[in-house]
Amino acid sequence: MENTSYTNDWLHPQNNELWQGEDGTSNPCPPGWRVPTKNELEAEKDSWDSSDAKGAFSSPLKLTVAGYRKGYSASLSGIGTRGDYWSSTYPDGVSYQLSFDSTDATMLRTQRANGLSVRCIKD
């Protein structure tokens, strides 16, 4: 049985200042780059030829179906079938992510304990 009693964040106590802009605390991107916002990822998704994994990969960003790591069990999920990418938008202790598979692409709210891919953008 998997342990589902976990925090919804990777940090305790939570810190909503992480990843906020190019100079954000613990920005995972190289200098001059940053994690995109929810609105920026939505605009990217809306520019694709199709709203699915095929559209994600054919976009200029070449987003792949890398899957993700579950925060409560550390197991991998969705490898080769879904893509999950962090945004820097964080309402109410959760973050938004861009998620896509072979049939759909959407923005979801997710617990920050999960391990998702990051695609950095440059201003």
> Model confidence over 31-75: pLDDT tens digits?
888 889 999 999 999 999 999 999 999 999 999 999 999 887 889
d(Cα 91, Cα 106) in Å, to the nearest integer? 17
Tell me, yes or no, whether 2 lies in a domain.
no
When divided into structural domains, the chain yields a total of 1
Tell me, yes or no, whether 7 lies in a domain.
no
d(Cα 72, Cα 56) in Å, to the nearest integer? 27
Tell me, yes or no, whether 117 lies in a domain.
yes
Q: Report which of residues 111 and 19 the model is more confident about.
A: 111
Q: Which range, of 7-16, 37-46, 73-82, 88-97, averages the lowest pLDDT?
A: 7-16
Tell me, yes or no, whether 101 lies in a domain.
yes
pTM of the prediction? 0.83
Tell me, yes or no, whether 53 lies in a domain.
yes
Confidence label for 26 from pLDDT (cuts 50, 70 and 90): confident
d(Cα 29, Cα 7) in Å, to the nearest integer? 25
Tell me, yes or no, whether 27 lies in a domain.
no
- Domain of 88 in residue numbering reads as 33-122
What tokens does 3 get?
């342990």
Torsion of CA 69, 71, 72, 73, to 10 degrees: 30
